[in-house]
Copies of this chain bind each other. A is one copy, B any other.
Amino acid sequence: MKELEYYLQQRKKILAFNYINFLTEWDAQTDAAGGSVAADSEYVATLAEMQYRLATEPEFERCVEQLYLKREELDDVQRHEIEVTYRSVSETKRIPVEEYVAYNQLTAEAYPVYVRAKQTGDFQLFRPYLERIVEYCRKQTVWLATDSLKGYDVLLDKYEPHFTQAKYDTFFRVLRDKLVPFVKRKVSTDPAPDWTKQVFDKAKQKEFCEYIRDVMCFDKNFGIMKESEHPFTSGIGTDDVRITNHYYENDLTSAIFSAIHETGHATYERQVDPALNGTLCGGGASLGLHESQSRFYENMIGRSHAFWAVHYPKLQSVFAPQLDGVSTEEFVRYVNRVQVGFVRTEADELTYPLHIMLRYEIERELISGRLQVKDLPAFWNRKFTEYFGVTPPSDTLGVLQDVHWAYGNFGYFPTYALGSAIAAQLYHAMSKDFDIEASLADGTTARINVWLKDHVHKYGASKYPDEILRIATGEDFEPNYYVDYLISKYSA
């Protein structure tokens, strides 16, 4: 097919731009100084325009359309890619180019302003940026509306294909009915144990986090671990997968669980079938599925007694003599305690989904236009008080705590809760094949990695996430595994 040849030529350019997007974001969040990000935002805008033009070139569009019509002649991966590309080209076209470019420049500029606003707790500083961002996202729901997707659903579908408001509502209703009353009973107000109130050397934390990457069998020749304000994972293809971390000397475990979490994401990217490199089907299938991997490693593995039975002696030796009097049991109890806190990223496994429900409900109101940005801090605080019984003392600990909205990522948060639930469903399926906890005794997560590779990772984005979940577990998404897992774990 001559269309295919032309398509593959153009795809190389699209991939090169994906690489550029990866690098510019990685740079903005790690190396670029505050004043530099703004200076670079014009280049970002020009690159966005070039990407827009590339994706909507009439010849490319015709070619994708032709391939779409002949898609039954393609192999499975190509067919999936063409379906996704066909849709994305037709969507991009519906966004006015000036708006697209201006929005890309806006979010590049918004990031350093958001950082300053968060540092100073000054929502008003960030407000004009957020207003323009929300305005654009609302317009997106109009430009990209289809017969089956409207309003907030348009945004939700970008991050988790086929998962609509109706489905999230059902999911969150299950959590609200079964989990909220349980959480309330489990919340502890005990002060943190004394041994946690020490200074834990940053270099030692780093050393242990590098050890964690070894435990998780991550090949360091294909990605570094660096520092940034918020830990994240970023990669391009299977051979360049990087994570960041943040070390707090007054907190022993924050960086450790971030390392496990981000290496979970990184393992997913690394274990995609390398044959998908150079296609548009590389990387994770959706944000929910991605988060299911990081949460799987962080919570189900990383907070288990079986894990620390093997690795706690190493932790003790790195920090010797600071943990000398602390038993494995005490440590595991500490990393699983349930507490009310203001900050999502510091939340325990049990209260975490409540933080997400809060954001989901706020986004729904904002995108529908029923809530305005100017009223956001007050709305946040009221809702938070309703859910948690306490009121954030500042916007830094409230509405400004997450960076996502500064990037315009509305519709992203709900995938975090979804990820935890998918992780529980996968754990249930994996348990049928082997004894997960026993497999940790050999000192690595090797056996778990292989199972996840064969059942989830290898497919990359060559199938939709709900399809992959069905292949991996034999079932559609089922939130009760998650509820059961949490109730059983925290009843123990």
- CA gap between A268 and B223 in the complex, in Å: 33
Which residues from 7 to 46 on chain A have a C-beta closer than 8 Å to any C-beta of chain B? Answer: 12-13, 15-16, 19-20, 23-24, 26-27, 30-36, 38-40, 42-43, 46
Q: How many residues of A contact B (CB 8 A)?
A: 40
Task: Name, among A20, A30, A39, the residue most crowded by chain B CB atoms within 10 Å (CB to CB).
Answer: A39
Instruction: Contact check, B223 vs A36: say whether CB atoms are below 8 A apart.
Output: yes
Whether A43 touches B236, Cβ cut-off 8 Å, given contacts A23-B23, A23-B27, A26-B27, is yes
Q: Does A221 contact B (CB under 8 A)?
A: yes
- CA gap between A267 and B223 in the complex, in Å: 32
- When distances are taken between beta carbons in the complex, the residues of chain B under 8 Å from A26 are 27, 31
Q: Does A248 contact B (CB under 8 A)?
A: no
Whether A16 touches B240, Cβ cut-off 8 Å, given contacts A35-B222, A221-B35, is no
Instruction: Contact check, A38 vs B239: say whether CB atoms are below 8 A apart.
Output: yes
- CA gap between A237 and B39 in the complex, in Å: 8
Q: Does A278 contact B (CB under 8 A)?
A: yes
Which of B12, B16, B47, B242 contacts A31 (CB under 8 A)?
B242
Q: Does A310 contact B (CB under 8 A)?
A: no
Instruction: Contact check, A222 vs B46: say whether CB atoms are below 8 A apart.
Output: no
- When distances are taken between beta carbons in the complex, the residues of chain B under 8 Å from A326 are none
Contact with B along A203-232 (1 / 0, CB 8 A): 000000000000000011111101000000
Shortest Cβ gap from A122 to chain B (Å): 18
Instruction: Contact check, B278 vs A13: say whether CB atoms are below 8 A apart.
Output: no
Instruction: Contact check, A240 vs B36: say whether CB atoms are below 8 A apart.
Output: yes
Main secondary structure of the interface of A (DSSP, over half): helix
Q: Does A187 contact B (CB under 8 A)?
A: no
Q: Does A4 contact B (CB under 8 A)?
A: no
Instruction: Contact check, A40 vs B236: say whether CB atoms are below 8 A apart.
Output: yes
Q: Which residue of chain B is the closest to A47 with respect to CB atoms?
A: B16
Instruction: Contact check, B35 vs A219: say whether CB atoms are below 8 A apart.
Output: yes
- When distances are taken between beta carbons in the complex, the residues of chain B under 8 Å from A20 are 20, 23, 43, 47
Whether A240 touches B15, Cβ cut-off 8 Å, given contacts A24-B23, A31-B226, is no
Q: Does A50 contact B (CB under 8 A)?
A: yes
- When distances are taken between beta carbons in the complex, the residues of chain B under 8 Å from A42 are 278
Instruction: Contact check, B236 vs A33: say whether CB atoms are below 8 A apart.
Output: no
Shortest Cβ gap from A104 to chain B (Å): 12
- When distances are taken between beta carbons in the complex, the residues of chain B under 8 Å from A32 are 224, 240
Whether A240 touches B40, Cβ cut-off 8 Å, given contacts A35-B221, A221-B34, A226-B31, is yes
15 contacts between A and B (CB under 8 A): A16-B47, A16-B50, A20-B23, A26-B27, A31-B226, A33-B220, A33-B242, A34-B221, A35-B219, A36-B221, A36-B223, A36-B240, A39-B236, A39-B238, A42-B278
User: Which residues of A does B touch, CB under 8 Å?
Assistant: 12-13, 15-16, 19-20, 23-24, 26-27, 30-36, 38-40, 42-43, 46-47, 50, 219-224, 226, 236-240, 242, 277-278
A16-B43, A40-B240 given. 9 additional CB < 8 A pairs? Answer: A13-B46, A15-B46, A16-B47, A19-B47, A20-B23, A33-B220, A33-B222, A33-B242, A35-B222
